[in-house]
Amino acid sequence: MLSHNRDTRLRRRQEAEEFRRIFQPLSIFFGALGLLLFLWTVMGVAEGQSLRRDLAGAGVTLMAIPVAVLVFRWSRGHFRKDLHR
């Protein structure tokens, strides 16, 4: 029984490490890209251009990716202290 818990913990630790190393930086990159896209849309509106809803929507959607990855990691228990014992 104890080996099953240990195996599960080791798999979860490996999953957490992969997410920290690969998916988290990618999600932050896409979030920053979305922020730039959204700011570009806001600057266009400030200059008197019409609102580009497609660009604003794409920017907001890209900005939500890091939050979604973080919530997924919390739900999978990647930040639990007993994962690293």
Average pLDDT, 10 consecutive residues per value, the chain (85 residues): 74 89 95 96 92 93 96 88 75
Report the pLDDT value the prediction gives residue 63, as an integer from 0 to 100. Answer: 97
Q: Domain range holding 78?
A: 2-82
Token reading at 48: 């008197």
Phi-psi region of 8 (alpha: psi -120 to 50; beta: other; left: phi over 0): alpha
Cα–Cα–Cα angle for 22, 25, 26, rounded to 5 degrees: 80
Neighbouring CB atoms inside 10 A of 13's CB total 15
> d(Cα 2, Cα 83) in Å, to the nearest integer?
14
Report the pLDDT value the prediction gives residue 83, as an integer from 0 to 100. Answer: 74
**Total number of domains constituting the chain:** 1
Report the pLDDT value the prediction gives residue 3, as an integer from 0 to 100. Answer: 66
> d(Cα 58, Cα 30) in Å, to the nearest integer?
11
Report the pLDDT value the prediction gives residue 23, as an integer from 0 to 100. Answer: 93
Report the pLDDT value the prediction gives residue 31, as an integer from 0 to 100. Answer: 97
